[in-house]
Each structure stands twice: as structure tokens, then as C-alpha cells.
Amino acid sequence: MGSLKPVIPRPLIVVLALVLAACGLTRPPSMDAAEEDSFEDDVRTARTLTEEFWKQQFDRLGETYRPIADFIPYSGTSGPSCGGEPSVPNNAFYCPVGHFIAYDQDWMEALWNEMGDGSVYLIIPHEFGHSVQAQLGTGFELNVQMELQADCYAGGTLSALVNSGALTAQPGDENELLLSLAAAGDPTDDWLNPAAHGTAEQRQQAFVQGYRGGVGAC
Ligand SMILES: [Zn+2]
């Protein structure tokens, strides 16, 4: 699909230092091979590539990947409920009851504008990570462990897509992804809060672990 530009992994500490040093963000160049695309294109590409990746992974293990039943954009409070729980603004989620993913498109498009397309290529693979956990029957005692594994899956998915040439990483993309994670991190290390996603640093470490070692390292 496009030219392959291998990503040379930097030590985590350097990555984090660059993340901390970066401010005054401008929209970085596009991450996928086609380059000129809209928010909707990026969302569609992220979904398609992520599902193709997981289908291959399941095939390799002799398992059958079950595609999500629906992929639902919403605005504000208009989203679908999940098991009786209403959806909330500024969120994306996987619902195990209906095996679907839904996302606040206004919120995600704002992130796409502010932080670049890496935000879409992070959030969508993260939610697909939850759908894979559901299919594999992965259970954790603490919610944060589920969340960090989904971040790790997102990292593993993205590195596989970059290595296959489906996505092209450009200088700055790695930082863009890590900044998106930092923005999504919980402000405190609140491990017992069921809603906790982990601190920004924990999320970055989980993402980098998957990015370097692949989904098998998650
Ligand atoms: Zn999550």
C-alpha cells in the first residue's frame, strides 16, 4: 500500500523525555500510507486494519475471529446504551453485551484536530483490544489491568501495521501516540477505582511494551 519506513525504537526514557519536552502541538503529518485523508477516512482505516490484523492473529492460532457486530458514532449523550448503562460524552467504549464499539465522534474529531491522526489510531485499536479480551475470555481482578492490556494490544497492533507497510510512521508519530495516551491517563495512580485506566506513564509503558514486543508480549 505504501512505502515502508521502519520505526527505530528509542529507549523509553528518551521517548518520555521527548513527550515531556513537546508543547505547542500542531497537527502532525498523516500516519497512514494514503496521507491525504479526512477524519472519517482515518476512522474507517483504523477499524479495517485493526480487524484484519486480529483476524490474522486468530487464524494463526487456529481460532476464529469474531468481527464486532457494530461500530457506532454518536454525539454527546445520543450514544447507545450498554447493558442498561447509558453512554457518556467524550468517550469511546466496547460493549460486551452487544459486541459493538461506539465512540463520541465530536470528541474524537477534536482530538484528531488537536493531536493528529495518531489519536484515532490509538483509541480504536484500544477498543478492539477490549473486544479481543472478551473473545479470549481474559479476566483481570482490577479494571486497570484490562485497560493496560488494551493499551499494550494497541501498541502491538500499530507496530504490526507499520511493519507490514499498511501504516507509515513518520518522525513524530511515536510521540504523537504517546501524547495521546498521556492525555487519556488518569491523574492519579488510583488502582482500586473501577474506572481507572492507569496513569499516563503506566499507559505509555504498556503501549511501548506492545509496540516493541507485539501483542504476544501483552
Ligand atoms: Zn479501555
Report yes or no: 80 and 91 within 8 Å, Cβ to Cβ.
no
Global pTM? 0.80
> Which pLDDT does position 140 carry in this prediction?
81
Quote the ligand 1 centre to 127 CA distance (angstroms): 6
Neighbours of 139 (CB within 10 A): 8
**Cα–Cα dist 171/106, whole Å:** 27
Per-chain residues with Cβ under 5 A from ion ligand 1: 147, 150
Quote the ligand 1 centre to 171 CA distance (angstroms): 27
> Which pLDDT does position 52 carry in this prediction?
97
Series of mean pLDDT values for 10-residue runs along the chain (218 residues) = 35 36 40 72 94 97 95 95 90 92 93 84 92 90 86 93 84 70 54 60 88 94
> Which pLDDT does position 203 carry in this prediction?
83
> Which pLDDT does position 65 carry in this prediction?
96
For every residue of 143-201, DSSP letters joined together read HHHHHHHHHHHHHHHHHHHHHHTSB---TTHHHHHHHHHHHHSBSS--TT-TT---BHH
- The domain ranges of the chain are 12-20+29-217
Quote the ligand 1 centre to 130 CA distance (angstroms): 7
> Which pLDDT does position 35 carry in this prediction?
59
Quote the ligand 1 centre to 71 CA distance (angstroms): 16
